[in-house]
Amino acid sequence: MNTPGSPARAARRAVVVGLVATALAGCRFDRSSPTAGRTTQPTNPLTQDSVFPHPDRALATRELLPYGATYSFDQGSKRVNTTLERLRGPLVDLPTGRVGVTDPGYLPPGETPPTVGLAPGTYPTELAVLGFHDQGTTTYRGCVAVLGDPGQGLVWRTLRDDVGEVVYLGVDDGMGCLFHAADLAALTDAVEPYDALVARILDSPLAGIRIDGRTAAVVFDCGMGDGGYPTYVGYDHGGEAVAVAVDLELHHRGIRS
């Protein structure tokens, strides 16, 4: 795996950044980066309400994934509208039930990404997306990545580390990954050649990664590109963790109709 400062990695990062710039050309966003210690949040310019869910507040599925909602963005001298849609991904096998959350382009040796414990099994995946239209072409950008069935009865809470801080997925190449945690070592080899993975995400914003003949991970487009994104765990009525989601925040930057 190339190091963060290598020329090859820098070139690939430029490709991803260029795609984001093309898809969102002219759209204006508040790019304030979320941090665990944030005390003030970006606000909706019309209502002055926070555009981000507060990390201490539990969310219902309809709040985390408001499918069908329409958002508007300033694009030059005009306002464009786009609707949040569901893109279904591959089934992911979790023999141990543990899900890891990471940037697929940077898996440093000796570091362990944050994980969530679910029941062993096979889980559906999906990506909430917004479509941006330009000269007859629609580019879909990721807003919320989900592993598990986001049933309407779930309660979503931010993932916390051992000292109670919110866990943010750190992204350096405009992509994130949800994977079977026991396959971390194999994942490093599975995402190579990395250029091919980038090409797959350019073609489809949600792609499966196969390890030992099964789909062990999904890589997804991060609509806002590089940054830090909060991870949520979905709990059923019995308090069991049954799903994991990463809020990629793009839809929060628009104004919801």
**Segment 56-69 mean pLDDT:** 92
Exposed/middle/buried for residue 231 (C-beta within 10 Å: 0-12, 13-18, 19+): buried
Q: Which of 36-40, 158-162, 170-174 has the lowest mean pLDDT?
A: 36-40
Bond preceding residue 45 cis, omega within 30 of 0? no
What distance in Å separates the CA atoms of residue 48 and residue 73, rounded to the nearest whole number? 16
pTM above 0.85, yes or no: no
Residue 52: pLDDT band (50, 70, 90) is: low
What pLDDT was estimated at residue 136?
Answer: 82
What pLDDT was estimated at residue 219?
Answer: 93
What distance in Å separates the CA atoms of residue 151 and residue 153, rounded to the nearest whole number? 5
Q: Provide the residue type at 156 as one letter.
A: W
Work out whether strand 121-123 and strand 168-171 pair parallel, antiparallel, or are unpaired.
Answer: unpaired
Residue 132: pLDDT band (50, 70, 90) is: confident
Work out whether the CA dihedral 9, 14, 17, 23 comes out positive or negative.
negative
171-196 exposure pattern, b = at least 16 Cβ within 10 A, e = fewer: bebbbbbbbbbbbbebbeebbeebee
Give 65 or 162, the one with higher predicted confidence. 65
Over the chain, what is the mean pLDDT? 79
Residue 76: pLDDT band (50, 70, 90) is: confident
Share of the chain above pLDDT 90, in %: 43
What distance in Å separates the CA atoms of residue 15 and residue 37, rounded to the nearest whole number? 31
What pLDDT was estimated at residue 56?
Answer: 81
